[in-house]
Chains A and B, each alone.
Chain A
């Protein structure tokens, strides 16, 4: 029998709560979250646990950060990029975010981070498309058009992975404001 399992993630910007509920359900069936995987999570077979999972964002946290969580009963499970951290705790432990102001901060910071990449890449892509269409003119070499098109496609990937989360966080903030 397999010891590890991969599950896809809906993207933390959109499906954070749903993802955490799924992890909790898997844990109750003995599939315990081990680490982040590409566009998802890696689980390992173990003893079934009745736990809740929560995501926190903090770049470069110090030792105190994890000490606070531990003292509050939240076990650090895994992190990615020294930035996104997942914790687990027995059900009904005090949530990791308890006031609206800090929940708001959490998503506001994320949104800005995404915007910092999404907007420049949007502009860059627009320039590339202009270059590409210019290459149809006789005085611009064809190779300029080809390179522009390839670069534009790559930029589009970046744009999708930052622009969509941007709107995801925007929507979360909108719901919080109501």
Chain B
């Protein structure tokens, strides 16, 4: 399925990344939206349609799972073991990217001085 391309390549979109981060504890969908907004100081906002489709996608890829149904049939989700590993490798990938960037910037500074 082309829909899961990014996930299968082992890369997470910003939306998926932040949803996984906020699901280290079980949460309902709209609480995820609030959590992500607070965490990122409103820099990352997830619209309801994107939220719903991304949750479906992450579930299908077994990165999150249904935790339970609360009152009024509200579904809560939580990250899986697979999701946690994915999150760790994504953080490692991002750390490496930042390191590359910082190295280059440092070189530039040294050349300038």
Which of B29, B30, B53 is A102 in contact with, Cβ under 8 Å?
Answer: B53
**Could you show 18 A-B contacts with beta carbons less than 8 Å apart?**
A58-B52, A62-B73, A67-B29, A67-B30, A67-B74, A68-B48, A71-B33, A72-B47, A94-B47, A95-B47, A97-B49, A98-B45, A99-B46, A99-B54, A101-B13, A102-B50, A102-B54, A105-B3
A69 within 8 A of B: yes
Cβ-Cβ contact count across A and B, 8 Å cutoff: 78
The SS class assigned to the B binding surface is: helix
Interface residues on B, range: 20 to 34
B80 within 8 A of A: no
A65 within 8 A of B: yes
Nearest chain B CB to A73's CB is how many angstroms away?
Answer: 9
B-side contacts of A54, CB under 8 Å:
49
A56 within 8 A of B: yes
Question: In whole angstroms, how far apart are the Cα atoms of A8 and B46 in the complex?
Answer: 32
Q: A33-68: which residues lie under 8 A (CB-CB) from chain B?
A: 54, 56, 58, 61-65, 67-68
Nearest chain B CB to A85's CB is how many angstroms away?
Answer: 9
Q: Which of A56, A63, A102 has the most CB atoms of chain B within a 10 A radius of its CB?
A: A102
**A108 with B3: CB separation less than 8 A:** yes
Question: In whole angstroms, how far apart are the Cα atoms of A105 and B53 in the complex?
Answer: 9
